[in-house]
Amino acid sequence: MSSPAAGSRPQRILITGASGCVGQYITEQLYRHSDAELLLLLRDPAKLTVVSADDPRVTLLVGDLRELTPHAGAIATATRIIHTATAWGDPLRAQQVNVEAVNQLLAFTSPVWLEQVIYFSTASILDRQLQLLPEAAEFGTEYIQTKALCLQQLEAHPLAAKIVAVFPTLVFGGQVGPGDRHPTSYLTAGIREATRWLWLAKWLRTEASFHFIHAADIALVCAHLATQPHHPNPEPNQGALRRLVLGQAPISINATVTQLCRWRRSWQPPFGIDLQGWLIEALIKLLRIEVNAWDRFSIRQRHFVHEPVSPPERFGLVSYAPTLQAVFETAGLPHR
């Protein structure tokens, strides 16, 4: 079987987790802005809202990621794979989905047709220089540990040169209320609840910072990568497998509270209580808050920032939601 000639047929892109928040944004972006044929792996077709299952460019592969054998033939026809599906909560399921199923998925691909794999991980397992955090394997939850293990395995995989590992930071998407056909991310769903505690948060101060990104901007980057020729990893100080942390410029917790106060038109005092480590520990004990080893590491770490970080602008694109104000607006967060 000879290699496919460039431009001989449309890209055939397999998207796992296609009914999830990020998966649906990616599916819609590729459907609207490419001629790619889309293979959508998902468990519940009823949750797919951004494209029609009857469209001739769409093929549904219905099933669990842990049972890929029925779809082996379709997987082998994919020229690109965008693997967003993941699992957490149950240690056994996390191991099966986040590690074993990834290996099985790659085993079913065709070395003749496959050009690229975009693999989704999480920025939480990386340090500032995009290297694997030792604490991820030592203290991480089942989700963190399995993502760390999978990354290590993929670095040594025969297909590593075809893999782009993307590490989303905090993901917003959808709306806080009804009316958006995209699923709502867990973070966006929590904004409304967070505003109920704004009366307390505005009296507190803490030195911590993070990146965020909207699912629409993740889709912009992934669609760009999936429709451009795949080249050897251009990133410095990395191996064959390319690592991209997807996020906007870092923002502090204090700035986040300030911006949320402005959006909600709520007065913020010019001073506040500094949440130092000893005070946080005292509050945990006083309020009897359950924390695990990863929670404690995160409290000590405080600054989850990375360099370089890759917003859409790094690829010559324009962000859909480059600021928190844009996130609040697109989420439909009320001002009051």
Whichever domain contains 151, its CATH number is 3.40.50.720
- Confirm whether 49 is domain-assigned: yes
User: How would DSSP label each residue in 26-94?
Assistant: HHHHHHHH---EEEEEES-GGG--SS-TT-TTEEEEES-TT--GGGHHHHTT-SEEEE-----SSHHHH
150 and 31, same structural domain? yes
Pair (70, 134) in one structural domain: yes
Residue 129 φ/ψ region, left for φ over 0, alpha for ψ in the -120 to 50 degree band, beta for the rest:
alpha
Q: Is residue 178 part of a domain?
A: no
Q: Where are the alpha helices (DSSP H) in the chain?
A: 21-33, 72-75, 91-95, 101-107, 134-139, 142-155, 186-195, 198-201, 215-227, 253-263, 277-286, 293-301, 324-330
pLDDT at 5: 45
Q: Count CB-CB contacts under 10 A for residue 206.
A: 19
Q: What number of other Cβ atoms are within 10 A of residue 268's Cβ?
A: 15
What is residue 104's predicted lDDT score, i.e. its pLDDT?
Answer: 97
**10-58 tens-digit pLDDT:** 899 999 999 999 999 999 999 999 999 999 999 999 999 999 999 999 9
Same domain, 84 and 118: yes
Q: What are the beta bridge partners of residue 172?
A: 214
Q: Do 218 and 77 lie in a common domain?
A: yes
CB count, 10 Å around CB of 261? 17
CA separation for the pair 242, 86 (Å, rounded): 20
Q: Do 273 and 153 have their domain in common?
A: no
* Confidence at 4, pLDDT banded by 50, 70, 90: very low
Range of the domain at 124: 12-172+211-248+306-321
Within 8 A by CB and 6+ apart from 288, the residues are: none
Same domain membership, residue 63 and residue 206: no
Q: Do 276 and 311 have their domain in common?
A: no
Query: Percent of the chain beyond pLDDT 70?
Result: 98
The answer to whether residue 77 sits within a structural domain is yes
Domain count, the chain: 2
Half-sphere exposure of 17 (CA within 13 A, CB side): 21
Rounded-to-integer distance, Cα 48 and Cα 287, Å: 41
- Say if residue 46 is in the same domain as residue 151: yes
Residue 331 falls inside a structural domain? no
- Please check whether residues 89 and 101 belong to one and the same domain: yes
Structure confidence by residue, pLDDT tens digits, 91-140: 999 999 999 999 999 999 999 999 999 999 999 999 999 999 999 999 99
